[in-house]
Amino acid sequence: MDYRLCPEYSVQEAVQDVVDAYQYFVTKYPQYTKLSFLGGSAGAGHALLATLQLQKEKIQPLPTSLVLSSPGPGMEFLKPIDDIDIHNSSTTYWKSLTENAPVDGFMVGGFYQYVIGVVFGSNQANREYVQSQLQVSNLEKLPPTLVTAGSYEVILEGVQKLVSCLQKANVKVDYKEYPKMQHCHFAFFEWSPESSAALDELITWLQASWK
Q: What is the SS3 assignment for 91-112?
A: HHHCHHHHHCCCCCCCCCCCHH
**Number of folded domains in the chain?**
1
Q: Tell me the per-residue pLDDT of 64-92, one tens digit each, with 9 for 90 and over.
A: 999 999 998 889 888 754 434 444 444 45
Distance CA 142, CA 73 (A): 19
What residues form DSSP beta bridges with 206? none
Question: In 58-169, where does DSSP find H-type helix?
Answer: 95-99, 111-120, 124-133, 136-139, 156-168
Residue 89 confidence (pLDDT): 46
CA distances from 83 to 27, 87, 91, 163, 167 (A): 45, 10, 18, 16, 15
pLDDT in tens, the chain (211 residues): 789 999 999 999 999 999 999 999 999 999 998 999 999 999 999 999 999 999 999 999 999 999 999 998 889 888 754 434 444 444 456 889 889 999 998 888 788 889 999 999 888 999 999 999 998 889 999 999 999 999 999 999 999 999 999 999 999 999 999 999 999 998 899 999 999 999 999 999 999 999 9
Residue 1 lies inside a defined structural domain of this protein:
no
| CATH code (residue 62) | 3.40.50.1820
Q: Which of 91, 109, 111, 92 is nearest to 101 (CA)?
A: 109
Model pLDDT, residue 85: 44
The answer to whether residue 153 is domain-embedded is yes
Residue type, 58: K
- Whether 53 is in a domain gets the answer yes
Per-residue pLDDT at 80:
59
Is residue 93 assigned to a domain?
yes
Q: Is the Cβ–Cβ distance between 74 and 130 less than 8 Å?
A: yes
Rounded to two decimals, the pTM is 0.91
Residue 184: exposed, middle, or buried by beta-carbon count in 10 A (0-12, 13-18, 19+)?
A: buried
Instruction: Identify the domain containing residue 189 by its residue range.
Output: 11-23+35-209
The pLDDT, as a whole number, for residue 76 is 86
In a domain, 90, yes or no: yes
What confidence tens digit (pLDDT) does each residue in 170-190 have? Answer: 999 999 999 999 999 988 999
In a domain, 136, yes or no: yes
Cα atoms found within 13 Å of the Cα of residue 3, Cβ hemisphere only? 26
With respect to residue 105, please indicate whether it lies within any of the assigned structural domains: yes
The pLDDT of residue 122 is: 83
Give the pLDDT score at 121.
Answer: 84
Tell me the one-letter amino acid at 192: S
Question: Going along the chain, which residue ranges are E strands?
Answer: 36-40, 65-69, 145-150, 173-178
Number of C-alpha atoms within 13 angstroms, CB side, residue 146? 23
Angle subtended at Cα 200 by Cα 70 and Cα 29, rounded to the nearest 5 degrees: 80
Question: Is 15 within the bounds of a domain?
Answer: yes
